[in-house]
């Protein structure tokens, strides 16, 4: 698990805080994470049939004792949004966050922008006063949303 936590997960989630990701993209991340766990833990030998069996996802996550990769990505995205809410209003990151794209999106691009995804994520996690909660870094500590 040390190899996974120090090399694979950081490379996989590099820049994920700013991604505008679709359900398909989330599924692909989860599939890759399961595949890596499956390689780490390997199969198991079933004595009754004398054959090697593949571990199921539930078994893999029980052995890993870690949150799935999508939950980690979402926690990191919320943490980044907290930084963004506290940033100086003259910085480029704030102006990009508050801007509204004009025109049509190119084929294959996500339909929702990052800001709308984050609002939906806060609603999904029942963060009603999400702006106030993200403005104060100390208030995020007790919620368990600060990431790993």
Q: Has residue 19 been placed in a domain?
A: yes
- Chain segment 127-147, per-residue pLDDT in tens: 776 666 666 544 444 455 544
- Chain segment 13-44, per-residue pLDDT in tens: 999 888 888 889 999 999 999 999 999 998 88
Q: Has residue 54 been placed in a domain?
A: yes
Q: Has residue 146 been placed in a domain?
A: no
How far is residue 6's CA from residue 72's CA, in Å, rounded to a whole number? 14
Residues 6+ apart with CB under 8 A from 72: 9, 13, 66, 147, 148
| Residue whose C-alpha is closest to residue 125's, from 148, 94, 96, 146 | 146
In percent, how much of the chain has pLDDT > 90? 16
Q: Has residue 105 been placed in a domain?
A: no
pTM for the whole structure = 0.74
Q: Has residue 51 been placed in a domain?
A: yes
Q: Has residue 148 been placed in a domain?
A: no
Question: Do 43 and 52 form a contact (C-beta atoms < 8 A)?
Answer: yes
Q: Has residue 106 been placed in a domain?
A: no
Does the pLDDT of residue 52 top 70, yes or no? yes
Q: Has residue 47 been placed in a domain?
A: yes
Domain that holds residue 40: 2-98+111-141
Domains contained in the chain, number = 1
């Amino acid at each position: 698990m040390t190899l996974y936590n120090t090399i694979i997960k950081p490379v996989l989630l590099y820049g994920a805080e700013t991604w505008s990701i679709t359900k398909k993209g989330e599924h692909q991340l989860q599939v890759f994470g399961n595949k890596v766990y499956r390689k780490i833990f390997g199969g198991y030998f079933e004595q009754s049939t004398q054959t090697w069996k593949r571990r199921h996802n539930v078994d893999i996550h029980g052995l890993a004792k870690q949150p799935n990769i999508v939950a980690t990505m979402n926690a990191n995205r919320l943490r980044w949004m907290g930084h963004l809410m506290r940033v100086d209003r003259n910085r480029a990151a704030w102006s990009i966050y508050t801007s509204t794209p004009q025109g049509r999106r190119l084929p294959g691009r996500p339909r929702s922008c990052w800001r709308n995804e984050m609002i939906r994520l806060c609603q999904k996690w029942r963060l009603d006063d999400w702006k106030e909660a993200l403005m104060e870094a100390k208030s995020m500590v007790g919620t368990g949303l600060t990431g790993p």
